Amino acid sequence: MPEYILTAEPPLGGYERHFEGTSLREHRELAIVAVSIPLGKDTAVSAALGEAYGATLPDHGVSVVSEDGATRILRFTADQIFLLFTHAKPDAAQVVSERLNGTGYTVDQTDNWVSLSLSGSLARPALERICAVNLRKDAFAIGRAERTVMEHLGAIIIRTGDDGFLLMSGSSSAESFLHALETSVKYVS
């Protein structure tokens, strides 16, 4: 019987490209875990986050980074947070569930998303053309995170640095999302 070895492959195969000093790069091993907060358990989840990650439950539209800098916690809605961290194995949800002592309901969403970093001077002008969120530096401070739409595709945008953004969209339409980003960057370069 033949032996198969399965190798994890990101939706865009590890895409990376540079445009006049601005880089667009796919994340290879970014684990994404959704944690749903059971009704009335905000305090318990917040306490568990504090113990495990040295972080509190973030406000809506804001992301916080864990004490060790390894995990970013996002919150878009009242009852759910996302945890993002580099993790190569397919057991991310279990890892989070154990660290949070089972206080929230965890779902591994890693394979459902494509994650790209766009950074450099062209990032903001390129995103302004396709993103419905106000990205002015004072309106969208470092750490802000929103779920929105780019072109016709649902997307998450997180400001990670002065001119740096982490962008996420559905893995099944990753090529279309990349096309929208590439086209917009080309138009402003």
Binding residues for other proteins (CB under 8 A):
60-61, 76-78, 132-133, 146-149, 154
We find the least distance from the C-beta atom of residue 147 to other proteins, in angstroms, to be 5
| Interatomic CA distance for residues 156 and 163, integer angstroms | 16
Q: How do beta strands 153-159 and 22-26 pair?
A: unpaired
Q: Are 33 and 82 in contact (CB under 8 A)?
A: yes
DSSP E strands in 10-144: the ranges are 16-19, 22-26, 30-36, 62-65, 71-77, 80-86, 105-108, 113-119
Q: Shortest Cβ distance from residue 67 to other proteins (Å)?
A: 26
What stretch of H or E contains 153? strand 153-159
Give me the least distance between CB of 37 and other proteins, in Å please: 13
Rank residues 8 and 149 by Cβ distance to other proteins and give the closer one: 149
Q: Which two tokens stand for residue 70?
A: 């390894």
Looking at the Cβ atoms of 127 and 133, the one nearer to other proteins is: 133
CB nearer other proteins, residue 99 or residue 147 = 147
130/188 with CB nearer other proteins: 130
Least distance between other proteins and beta carbon 87 (Å): 25
